[in-house]
Amino acid sequence: MSENILLPAIGLVLLTFIVGLIHTIASTDLMRKNKSWEESGIPIEPYKDAPLYLKLMKNNISNLFEFPVLFYFLIAMIIYFNIANAFLVICAWIYFVLRVAHSIWHICFTDTNIRGAIWVFSQTALFLIFAGSVYILLS
């Protein structure tokens, strides 16, 4: 069962690499097309003069290093204590799928209502992983 709960975490790491790669390609393309960006480089922080699509990608990368850190910790804890069960595995997969949906929506669309709903559901799955793990550990 521990192997099954590791797969969504590996998937989330892969998602982070993919979004980072897409951002790098888009940044490089922008620098090639716009000589002022080529000379000064792309700033680290989201920047007012950058195109919206690049800002959205950069913000999504930041999001992938916020709450998912708790997910990685919980997965490591579940594996360390060998407490994986079907409920935790299902919640981990739900969290992963919702984070993929959140990234796609964040990068491709500007409707924050739908993105916010996806985020709330993903946070619910994350909380259920936390609560389920604590319950098992304290039982």
Residue whose entry in the numeric block shows the structure tokens 């304290």: 138
Q: Specify the pTM.
A: 0.87
* Residue 6 clears pLDDT 50, i.e. is over it: yes
**79 touches 6 (CB < 8 A):** yes
- 116-131 burial by CB neighbour count: b if 16+ within 10 A, else e? eebbebbeebbebbbe
Residue whose entry in the numeric block shows the structure tokens 């979004």: 19
What are the tens digits of pLDDT across the range 81-119?
Answer: 999 999 999 999 999 999 999 999 999 998 899 999 999
What are the tens digits of pLDDT across the range 17-51?
Answer: 999 999 888 887 777 766 665 566 655 554 666 78
Domain boundaries, the chain: 2-138
CATH architecture assigned to 2-138 = Up-down Bundle (1.20)
DSSP E strands in the chain: the ranges are none
The CA distances from residue 130 to 31, 53, 92, in Å, are 43, 34, 10
Whole-angstrom Cα distance, residue 32 to residue 54?
14
Whole-angstrom Cα distance, residue 57 to residue 63?
10
Whole-angstrom Cα distance, residue 47 to residue 70?
28
